[in-house]
């Protein structure tokens, strides 16, 4: 259940990031101002804009009207249980048996030896549990860093595609007799 919740949060974060990226690109680079230097009509200007849009899209491979694809991070849905009751009881039984055996061999109190074995097994299990939690946290941090790096690469690629599209659109409009700023 917890793994599913984390995966849903990551998917939501990726979708929000992609939406934010779309908005950032749209806000950061408004459409250029186009002046009909050769007294082209509004209808002719619209036809030229459409033709240049299509041409620039074909040349650059970028379409500013299409949202970028959303990349999602792969999340593991399974989680290993390190604190299952059978594993915990088993190690405590083994610890008790070991403690009792040591006490028997050294002519000590078997009951105290078993108790010491149980306590040491519990401490050992707690240490293992903490190590597993630390390892899981480190893996999650690494996955988040990888996701952020992938988002940064996607943003850079989108910015580059937009820049290529804008250069092509401007060149096309200028070739048709417009001043583009």
pLDDT at 82 over 70: no
Pairwise CA distance, residues 12 & 35, whole Å: 42
Give residue 177's pLDDT band: very low, low, confident or very high (50, 70, 90). Answer: very high
**Dihedral (Cα; 34, 31, 156, 10), 10-degree rounding:** -170
Residue 87 pLDDT more than 60? no
Predicted model pTM: 0.53
Which secondary-structure segment (H or E) carries 36?
Answer: strand 34-36
Q: Mean of the pLDDT values across residues 2-14?
A: 57
- Chain position carrying tokens 């040349």: 59
Contact 117, 100 (CB under 8 A): yes
What is the rounded distance in angstroms from the CA atom of residue 73 to the CA atom of residue 129? 26
Residue 93 has pLDDT above 60, yes or no: yes
% the chain with pLDDT above 90: 48
Nearest-angstrom CA–CA distance, 113 and 129: 24
Which DSSP state fits 34?
A: E
Average pLDDT over the chain, rounded to an integer: 77
Give pLDDT tens digits for 36-77: 999 999 999 999 999 999 999 999 999 999 877 766 555 444
pLDDT at 51: 97
Burial, 1: exposed, middle or buried (Cβ in 10 Å; 0-12, 13-18, 19+)?
Answer: exposed
How much is the pLDDT for 63?
94
| Mean pLDDT for the stretch of residues 136-158 | 94
pLDDT at 34: 95
The pLDDT value recorded for residue 68 is: 73
3-state secondary structure of 126: helix
14 close to 147: Cβ distance less than 8 angstroms = yes
What is the spatial distance between Cα 52 and Cα 177, in angstroms, rounded to a whole number? 12
- Assess whether pLDDT exceeds 90 at residue 89: no
Closest-CA residue to 28 (of 173, 147, 169, 155): 155
pLDDT > 70 fraction of the chain, expressed in percent and rounded: 60
């Amino acid at each position: 259940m917890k793994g599913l919740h984390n995966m849903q949060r990551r998917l939501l974060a990726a979708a929000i990031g992609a939406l934010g990226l779309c908005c950032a690109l749209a806000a950061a680079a408004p459409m250029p101002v186009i002046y009909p230097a050769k007294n082209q009509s509004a209808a002719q200007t619209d036809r030229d804009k459409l033709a240049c849009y299509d041409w620039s899209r074909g040349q650059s491979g970028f379409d500013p009207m299409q949202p970028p694809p959303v990349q999602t991070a792969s999340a593991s849905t399974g989680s290993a249980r390190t604190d299952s009751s059978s594993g915990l009881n088993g190690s405590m039984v083994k610890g008790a048996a070991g403690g009792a055996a040591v006490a028997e061999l050294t002519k000590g109190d078997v009951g105290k030896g078993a108790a010491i074995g149980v306590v040491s097994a519990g401490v050992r299990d707690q240490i293992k549990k903490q190590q597993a939690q630390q390892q899981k946290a480190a893996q999650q941090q690494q996955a988040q860093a990888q996701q952020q790096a992938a988002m940064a690469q996607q943003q850079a690629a989108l910015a580059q595609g937009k820049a290529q599209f804008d250069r092509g659109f401007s060149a096309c409009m200028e070739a048709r007799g417009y001043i583009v700023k």
